[in-house]
Amino acid sequence: MEAEKEKPEIVWKAEKLVAATMGERDASHDAAHAFRVRGLALSLAKEEALSGPSLEIVELAALLHDIGDYKYAKDLTEDTTTVEKFLEEEGLEERKREKILAIIRHMGFKNEVASTSSPDSSLEFCIVQDADRLDAIGAIGIARCFTYGGSKNHILYDPEIPPRQGLTKEKYMMKDGKQTSVNHFHEKLFKLKDLMKTKAGKNRAEKRHKFMEDFLAEFYEEWSGSS
């Protein structure tokens, strides 16, 4: 309880903003996702010995990173306007505001698909990105994958629809109805382990990656009727 009392006001307000803007989304990208990423990011930061003002940047970037998620925008474009306005109104110093916004704008998998290297290779950026990717794999990642697929009426699996290869950023962002939830494992989730940037993130990703491999192996056996 003491730790709760010491929470900075801007963090309390960021939590309320997350709950208000993401609370009614499907459970793959709802407020609970943002809170888990925040928890993971602070845990990774501790393992990576990050301290001081950088922790505030990590916490706020992790909390606010999906508020303008393109998947929930009508025109499939990322929008950081809400976050920018919030940080300005809260009087956060410009250097921190710019750092948080840079993390949010460049941490997405779609940017890595496009082979566009981030202009930010700081430890804060790597921690927040790794935290978000950890929440996309393992048991939680599997649950989120099928939850999102269900929200878009994607079928579970069809052996006649292979995973897409050589994806561009634009093709990755355009989710057509012919894709399956299982294909998302091959198009993204199985790639995340090798894209982790911190030592702490790499270590945690190993277990979650193995869990997904075991799950999908069992899925294929059950699908075929051999298990």
CATH number of 111's domain = 1.10.3210.50
CB contact burial 19-31 (16+ within 10 A = b; e otherwise): eebbeebeebbbb
Of the candidates 109, 148, 143, the one whose C-alpha atom is nearest the C-alpha of residue 129 is 109
**Average pLDDT over all residues of the chain:** 91
172 band by pLDDT with thresholds 50, 70 and 90: low
Predicted pLDDT of residue 117? 55
Token pair for 92: 């956060």
pLDDT at 118 over 90: no
Predicted pLDDT of residue 2? 44
pLDDT at 1 over 50: no
pLDDT at 65 over 50: yes
pLDDT at 71 over 80: yes
Amino acid letter, residue 138: G
Predicted pLDDT of residue 44? 98
The pTM of the whole model exceeds 0.85: yes
pLDDT at 3 over 60: no
State the alpha helices, DSSP H only, in 107-226: 109-113, 123-134, 138-151, 169-173, 181-187, 199-224
Predicted pLDDT of residue 179? 84
CB contact burial 45-77 (16+ within 10 A = b; e otherwise): beebebeeebbbbbbbbbbbbbbbbebeeeeee
Contacts of 62 (CB under 8 A, 6+ apart): 34, 37, 38, 40, 41, 42, 128, 131, 132
Predicted pLDDT of residue 5? 54
Predicted pLDDT of residue 116? 52
How many separate helices (H) and strands (E) can be counted in the chain?
12, 0
Predicted pLDDT of residue 226? 85
Lowest mean pLDDT among 34-43, 123-132, 168-177, 201-210: 168-177
How many structural domains are present in the chain?
1
> What is the CB neighbour count within 10 angstroms for residue 164?
15
Domain of residue 70: give its range. Answer: 2-224
Share of the chain above pLDDT 90, in %: 78
- 211-219 mean pLDDT: 98
Predicted pLDDT of residue 119? 62
Lowest mean pLDDT among 14-23, 78-87, 116-125: 116-125
Cα(94)–Cα(188) distance, integer angstroms: 34
